[in-house]
Amino acid sequence: MSRDGVEDALLRLPGGANVSLRAGTRLRLGREHASGDERAFVSREQLEVWADESWAVLRGTVLGKNPSVITGADGLARLPAARRGDEFELRPGESIGLLAARQPVAFLLGRAAAAPPSPVACDSPREGESTPKRAKSAAASPYVSMAPLVRAYTPHAKPERFEGLDALVCLTRDPSEALRSGRAYHFDERVLVAYDAYAKARVHLLLLPLGAELRGVRAPCDLRSEHVHAMRELVDCARWLERSMRASGALPDVRLLIGLHRVPSMNHLHVHFLSADLDSDALKTKRHWLSFNSTFFLPLEQCVDELERCGAADVPRAQLGTVEALLKGEMACAVCAHSAGGSAVRLSNMADVKRHVASAEHRRACRLAPAG
């Protein structure tokens, strides 16, 4: 039965289709509604939704195991994420993700029975129009246009014992469980962003690709030209993550180190995303320090640029012994050297490192340069 001339509610599904939801009808949404393909981490039945009698809100329940993030009309996500069994409300203009903040289902508005449907904004160009550059970018990498993620940085407690070289592989087998257990900061169908179990800075995350393109790749030396697109997505993800964390206050105004170890210590390709302060009790040895303060650390964007230019991103595997030697060299602070225009701060031992990290000089060097 209609109320005040309103016949039904209009939903926009992730694939771009619009669905009308009549009064008294409940709709279940999940994998088959995502975008036409089988999404490995979207539950078959993730959400159940129905219209409120007043048509002012859309009500629903989370059925699936994925946490679902509600995004407001202003593009900012609401906290906390809705989890299995939670009920939620959407107001017109808001959306809820089938997969965290991704694959959004949007509640557009109630429709008047006598009026024609309201036009729905869509990314596709009209006939005769060219595709905008931003739309092309977004199609190539969803992180370009993804709404900011609003979430506090709350690292999981350090494991009681070393979990083995396949610990990251295990995390990627069930990303939703990693998020629920507090081991992950975010995930979508492309990337799992996990907390480093032995954080070497005040903020230290790992970007773990989930796609088949990088399966079997462990180190930069294994990358080839066919991996460029997948690696570019990691660059875009890192940029989106930085924007999100700075906007929400989860990341202080410090420089970031974003890159890969040339000889990784774990069996799943991972990108380090950490604050340049390197202020952590877990940073204990010369090896730890040099792994982020020498050319043993390969900046992500440099890695991808080399991959695009040369079809390879690092020295061949047979020469990795020379790379390992970098962890036995002299210690200096790369952040302060960069800030001081090349004047390196030499450090003799780990006691020197700890004093330097706590110094005003180092803290100044870690700060972001003022805008403009």
User: Residue 317 has what pLDDT?
Assistant: 66
User: Residue 36 has what pLDDT?
Assistant: 43
User: Residue 194 has what pLDDT?
Assistant: 96
Where are the chain's structural domains? Answer: 6-113, 167-329
329 versus 121: the higher-pLDDT residue is 329
Whether the Cβ atoms of residue 24 and residue 47 lie closer than 8 Å to each other: no
Indicate the DSSP class of residue 279: -
CATH of domain 6-113: 2.60.200.20
Return the closest-CA partner of residue 58 out of 5, 22, 34: 22
Indicate the DSSP class of residue 154: -
User: Residue 245 has what pLDDT?
Assistant: 92
312 versus 114: the higher-pLDDT residue is 312
Q: In this predicted model, what pLDDT tens digit does every residue of 98-117 receive, in sequence order?
A: 887 778 888 876 543 333 33
CA atoms within 13 A on the CB side of 335: 27
Q: Is the pLDDT of residue 75 over 70?
A: no
15 versus 242: the higher-pLDDT residue is 242
CATH of 167-329, one of 3.40.50.720, 1.10.10.1100, 3.30.428.10, 3.40.50.11290: 3.30.428.10
User: Residue 102 has what pLDDT?
Assistant: 77
What span, in angstroms and rounded, lies between the C-alpha atoms of 307 and 224? Answer: 7
User: Residue 41 has what pLDDT?
Assistant: 64
Structure tokens at 68: 């679902």
User: What's the mean pLDDT when you consider all of the chain?
Assistant: 80
Q: In this predicted model, what pLDDT tens digit does every residue of 240-268 receive, in sequence order?
A: 999 999 988 888 889 999 999 999 989 99
Whether the Cβ atoms of residue 29 and residue 46 lie closer than 8 Å to each other: yes
pLDDT band at 6 (very low <50, low <70, confident <90, very high): very low
Domains 6-113 and 167-329 share a fold: no
Per-position DSSP letters for 220-266, written without gaps between them: GGG--GGGHHHHHHHHHHHHHHHHHHHHHTSS-SB-EEEEEESS-SS
Q: What sign has the CA pseudo-torsion 192, 327, 279, 365? A: negative
